[in-house]
Structure 1
């Protein structure tokens, strides 16, 4: 079994959509499907139930997913663990990175990594906002970028980016438009991101939309970003997305989708830097957090 087979499997298992998984892996759908079939033959287990409408994990696929993630996580950690074992003895600090992080923030993480290189090796660690915040709380992660809102009295937060959001709508319905009002979306269902991939802010957003009269929901399950873009592209629904074309989320969009600003609604997604107060103020991360506060001092508004 090759490591690539596990990477292909995890991508399909997380997206539950072969087209979206292929896009994420920068490959065509047909060879990805063939590699999954090869893996199933080697394991003598069917990993996915798939037809023309949906892809779902089988019991064997559900069992394999955490195993595959652990193996890939171990493999991905080999380079920095080897450097740590053979290089000059420096401490290693994990920096939590949420999915879909804006490239401008990635650049700042790189600046911070270079600035503290002599005192510690800053290693990026991916995860959802709840997982990253929990990691910081437990001390496994030194600091993290996370999506607001969340609250924890032991944590400090610093706003680093605020991104405007708009309506992801079928292009053919709103051709030539430069904005849209909520009332104009009343005949479309609202398709929120599936629970397994959405951040806490979207629960707040869902409540705000309901209060403003958007109550028709199209709740998708067993899918990822790809499933939401499919129903928008087909004209069945709208969703909420980031307006900035540089946002990685735009990589999931299909044809016939446009993101328009609202004329009567101003949603925005805030990203904050979060760390544990007791580790920064006179603690073991004091120097690192001093540098981090300087690098992320000016919030970026998009």
Structure 2
């Protein structure tokens, strides 16, 4: 019998490739995370992780154990949900930024509605700034959206539970869209999109000329323009879609900032249905090993 607590820690480390990241997510000390991994390896009788000062890698046995661990934790969660007494019911007005919906959230929402068929889920997909406004107006109960890291503006300083932090990157069909001596062709969300502001500010700081070739409030519209080779778009690194490649930084493409996805609710702490959905998102995010669908430009 494998201890679910040890499995949860192992999956969190494997998902983030970091003992520190797992400790933050699980709200444990880093020494406790290390102890959990050692105890699991003793229990299994195999080395599961290889760790150095810069990275954490899964061994072949670790790769196999990761699949087993996810299945065990998922079965535990299904049993807990079924046997916990009264079925969860009610309505949840949930808002999510489009990039997170299309790349992260489909399986989470499917599992949540499958486990809680009596819950009425109302989903709003919009820009992060719009979602925060709707939350403030009382039109949403729970939101997952982006915020810029390290800024002091009131909007950016709103409280919430961090889901993940990612660096923004430049993405395009191929590197040929960057032409020396010509303004950078940008594909951007409509105002006041966070990635739009971050890209323009980074270019202006370096004095790099740019022009907007496509603006859309829809991620699918931006991706279509990028796949057509019209220009360059900006996305969190792991959310770049297939058919596009991440372009390396260069004198014409400065390094972009990090953004943070947070869960925030109308109440100080989510309760009831909102709390259950928030837990599902955080748990699934910790257990999932995200695959990157893009290519790296060389």
Q: With the length of structure 2 as denominator, give the TM-score of the two structures.
A: 0.49
